[in-house]
Amino acid sequence: MCGIVGAVAQRDVIEILLEGLRRLEYRGYDSAGVAVLGSDKQLQRVRCLGKVKILADAVARDPLQGSTGIAHTRWATHGQPSERNAHPHVSNDRIAVVHNGIIENHAKLRSTLQEQGFVFTSETDTEVIAHLVERELNSTNNLLEAVQKAVSQLHGAYGMVILDKQDPERLLLARSGSPMVIGLGIGENFVASDPLALLPVTRRFIYLEEGDVAEITRRDVNIFSSDGIPVTRDIRETSATYDAGDKGPYRHFMLKEIFEQPLAVSNTLEGRLNEAGVLDETFGNGAAELLKKIEHVQIIACGTSYHSGLVARYWMEALAGVSCNVEIASEFRYRKSVVRPNSLLVTISQSGETADTLAALRLGKTLGYVTSLAICNVAGSSLVRESDLAFMTRAGTEIGVASTKAFTTQLVGLAMLVLALGKSRELGVERQRELAAALKSLPGMLEETLKLAPVIETLAVDFAEKQHALFLGRGEEYPIAMEGALKLKEISYIHAEAYAAGELKHGPLALIDADMPIIVVAPNNDLLEKLASNIEEVRARGGMLYVFADQTAHFETSADMKVINLPHCHEWLTPIIYTLPLQLLSYYVAVIRGTDVDQPRNLAKSVTVE
Ligand code: GLU
């Protein structure tokens, strides 16, 4: 989940490496480090506990200089966050390595290497890589061969870059389960775990495939498949003009991304919809024909993406008449499941690199699904490349660790999938038109809803001292309550739970007292009366209610109930609209509590480890 950057150039690469780390910091941020080879051919390394800023300050105090280098921002999996566990790790002041992922057989390798005289200075799994490469070099004296031999002994997931002091104009790269991309320059080349890191220096990229080992020098790039055969991988030019490093007028990326949702959603819809419904090409060439065969949909995802899948299940069965299951990827991948005939496998992930989702896709492909569809925000990601069909959410780069615009655009993608599946089934022509028009109105509705920000900011004060919160919803708003609770947990560290409102009396009602805020998601649909009864159940027990309601539902604010009126919208769109005030609530609560909103503790953006 960490960030990796590397460079081989003629110029000093320190600033390129540090800027790359700043851009990747959202992926992992408990410690950071850099190692370069200068004109004196000496390995210079600086590592720090904490964020990239601390590393940059250390480098400013004690400048490094070098034209070949590697850098890393860490999200610890093995060994606590500390300077000695920060990457790059070195072996005998010769080999330096940065690594993303987990080496599962590290303990066994460590004890063998220790018996052979290698001295370990950290608790990480990563350090075995440095020593392994050095050991192999003693017999081959060829860095490429040494790395190939070393990686053949590793089990687990990795993206890595290796530097050898005695071969100063070369970097070795390897990928298995963690993304790795080469950035092509003129007379210089780069590497990173995400192209975003390299946008200031290049727009031309080569994505390594699973099992690839590559070497880059200033002028050459040589890539080898897992069996050691030279291979060519396509060069892709990115048109990304968006400077993700810029917060604009916003205090945090999360707030910026919340406010970008109307634009993100209109980008998601563009060119995919006309008055009659979803265009045939929306899910890829030939997808429309394939979708006609589908009788069942299996959705797999994690975290926020899982919540979007849960919403889709309500839509899919109610509107398209297609049965649907939704499962957490880390569960699906380790159990035996039964695939119904004519099933579609849908995976959802912002980054397309979520380790569990990717593993679930790989498993799913062996189980007999008709086809696989990825709903994803990152073109060229592993999930997209390995799925038969892909729907790109076009949300733009999302930096805040707590997902916002990726979620709402996933919902839009799933809504379009429902329309596409419904075409040949229960959705009549008129209903298709109605739903297409509703989707088209969405960006405007989102704009309207965001106007509530000042009201919600005031409300957030009530939560400053709270330790717990309960979120309630019914129907497709139940997953939205779950997403609201997750957001609050992630960034404000308040313990929050979501319940289907009908479940209250089966347990959670016991928790309700004056210290427990209860947030209710209450659009004006056919479940409103039921929900109103649930609200009364809470009131009778002295709970303080915060009700996000449709303005036409006419809930009234009173001493024990604050009502936040939302604009009336098409019933189908409520999960998307009601997400926004809950995002804003968690954001403003986190700001009041003074947490690190964009980089909350213990989390990272792109969960590329299991
Ligand atoms: N497993 C390695 C460590 O704990 C790498 C973690 C990461 O991907 O940042 O150092």
Residue 241 has pLDDT above 60, yes or no: no
Instruction: Tell me the CA–centroid distance for residue 79 and ligand 1, in Å.
Output: 9
pLDDT at 1: 58
Q: What percentage of the chain has pLDDT greater than the value 90?
A: 74
Residue 256 Cβ contacting ligand 1 at under 6 Å: no
Q: Which one is predicted more confidently, 465 or 532?
A: 465
Residue 343 has pLDDT above 70, yes or no: yes
pLDDT at 286: 86
For residue 126, give the ligand 1 atom closest to its CA.
2
State pLDDT tens for residues 269-281: 988 998 899 998 8
Question: Among 104, 110, 126, which is best to mutate for testing ligand 1, by the most ligand atoms less than 8 A from CB?
Answer: 126
Burial (CB < 10 A; 0-12, 13-18, 19+), residue 498, is buried
For residue 101, give the ligand 1 atom closest to its CA.
8
Residue in 339, 334, 335, 330 with CA at minimum distance from that of residue 298: 339
Rounded to whole angstroms, the Cα distance separating 287 from 271 reads 16
Question: Among 100, 110, 154, 610, which is best to mutate for testing ligand 1, by the most ligand atoms less than 8 A from CB?
Answer: 100
Q: What is the mean pLDDT of residues 519-548?
A: 83
Rounded to whole angstroms, the Cα distance separating 525 from 477 reads 10
For residue 73, give the ligand 1 atom closest to its CA.
9
Arithmetic mean of pLDDT over the chain: 92
Which of 179-188, 240-249, 277-286, 402-411 shows the lowest mean pLDDT across its residues?
A: 240-249
Q: What is the mean pLDDT of residues 574-584?
A: 97
Rounded to whole angstroms, the Cα distance separating 523 from 449 reads 13
For residue 1, give the ligand 1 atom closest to its CA.
8
Asked if 499 and 484 count as a contact pair (C-beta separation under 8 A), the reply is no
- 3-class state of residue 335 by DSSP: coil
Residue 86 Cβ contacting ligand 1 at under 6 Å: no
Q: What percentage of the chain has pLDDT greater than the value 70?
A: 97
Cα torsion through 454, 456, 459, 460, rounded to 10: -100
Question: Among 87, 97, 178, 353, which is best to mutate for testing ligand 1, by the most ligand atoms less than 8 A from CB?
Answer: 87
Annotated catalytic, 376? no
Nearest CA to ligand 1 atom 8: 100
Residue 28 Cβ contacting ligand 1 at under 6 Å: yes
Residue 2 Cβ contacting ligand 1 at under 6 Å: yes
Residue 505 has pLDDT above 90, yes or no: no
pLDDT tier for residue 396 given thresholds of 50, 70 and 90 = confident
Residue 607 Cβ contacting ligand 1 at under 6 Å: no
Q: Which one is predicted more confidently, 246 or 168?
A: 168
Annotated catalytic, 562? no
For residue 609, give the ligand 1 atom closest to its CA.
8
pLDDT tier for residue 249 given thresholds of 50, 70 and 90 = confident
Determine the residue type at 116. Answer: Q
Q: What is the mean pLDDT of residues 91-106?
A: 95
pLDDT at 242: 45
Residue 101 Cβ contacting ligand 1 at under 6 Å: yes
CA angle centred on 211, ends 217 and 388, rounded to 5°: 115
Cβ atoms within 10 Å of 584's Cβ, excluding its own = 27
What's the N-to-C CA distance of the chain in angstroms? Answer: 10
Residue in 565, 564, 566, 520 with CA at minimum distance from that of residue 539: 520
Residue 240 has pLDDT above 70, yes or no: no
pLDDT tier for residue 28 given thresholds of 50, 70 and 90 = low
